[in-house]
Amino acid sequence: MNKIIFRIVETEAELQQCFAIRHSVFVEEQKIFFKTDQDKFDKNAIHIAAIDTNTGKVVSTVRCHETEDGIWYGARLAVAKEFRKHPSLIGVKLCKIARKTVADRGAKRFLAYIQPKNVRFFERLNWRKVDKLVTHFGSPHQLMEASLFGTKKRTRNVAKGKIWTGYA
């Protein structure tokens, strides 16, 4: 079994691996973007990675960015194809870590635009639909909001260097 660790991206090499996974999923596989999915939010976002400790490679990622005071968005959740069916529930753990990360930074709301095929996944994680489907990057997406209720707030800098573990 491969041990998977989850942490906020700390190096440029890890960030580039996150971008590569996102490119693979959103540009090559899903064709949502033509050349790149990178945008203006990447520079100041918090990027969280799932890393296979056997290889040291990023196998999944999600980013969180603040758009206005206390309003955060999760975006670009991407899991490498070969890790999607593993019992480690990488996507679930990344969503939970993202929620905790933004709560630790004082988020009042945590939102995400979700592809319709993934809405049920997020509903099982206690996200709720906000309004109706919208067109986002040329395809239907559902705006959803995570419940931050009960998410323990900690100091702003405690998440840096924190590693969460799991097994794939």
Q: Give the domain CATH number at 161.
A: 3.40.630.30
Mean pLDDT, residues 38-67 taken together: 95
pLDDT at 149: 78
Closest to 2 in 3D by CA, of 80, 48, 47, 59: 59
Residue 167: strand pairing partners: 3
pLDDT in tens, 124-136: 999 999 999 999 8
pLDDT in tens, 17-38: 999 999 999 999 999 889 999 9
Q: What percent of the chain has pLDDT over 90?
A: 74
pLDDT at 137: 83
Vertex 128: Cα angle to 124 and 130 (nearest 5)? 150
Q: What percent of the chain has pLDDT over 70?
A: 87
Mean pLDDT, residues 63-82 taken together: 95
Give the count of domains, the chain.
1
Which residues span the domain enclosing 17?
3-167
b/e string for 18-49 if b means 16 or more Cβ within 10 A? bbebbbebbbeeeeebeeebeeeebeebbbbb
Nearest 5°: phi and psi at 121? -55, -50
Q: List, in order, residues 6 or more apart from 111 with CB less than 8 Å away.
A: 71, 72, 73, 74, 130, 143, 144, 145, 146
Closest to 22 in 3D by CA, of 96, 9, 125: 9
Q: Is the pLDDT of residue 157 over 60?
A: no
**Amino acid identity of 28?**
E
